[in-house]
Amino acid sequence: MHMHKVQVLNTISVLIARVTEVTPYANKLMLFFQKAWEESSSESILQIQLLTALKNFVVALGYQSPKSYGMLLPILRSGINITSPDELLEDCMQACSICGRFN
């Protein structure tokens, strides 16, 4: 089941990166991302894949991305801690950097 979730997140990430307009789906995607993060708390591979999808989501939203920060910032906060694997910490920092582009 673990690899299935990674594949689903990868597919969502690719779709978000390629679709021209994600705004109509933003609220549903934010709910999905929030739930997926909560369910992946002990699985750093899932969290890393989720962060990739979130980075694509923020880029796709562009200057409308601040509407996702209520969902995104708690996720990033929980991923940036001393006990996080280096890869997770790095992806969280990259996502923070991407968010900074649109403020």
Tell me which H or E stretch contains 13. helix 2-18
Q: Show the CA angle centred on residue 28, arms to residues 21 and 69, nearest 5°.
A: 80
Closest-CA residue to 55 (of 24, 9, 20): 9
Instruction: Report pLDDT digits (tens) over 34-87.
Output: 999 998 877 888 888 999 999 999 999 999 999 999 999 898 888 887 777 777
Q: Which amino acid, residue 74?
A: P
Would you state the pLDDT for residue 90?
83
- pTM for the model stands at 0.86
- The sign one gets for the Cα dihedral 56, 93, 101, 77 is positive
pLDDT at 1: 52
Take residue 75 and report the two structure tokens written for it.
């996720």
Confidence bin at 103 (pLDDT 50/70/90): low
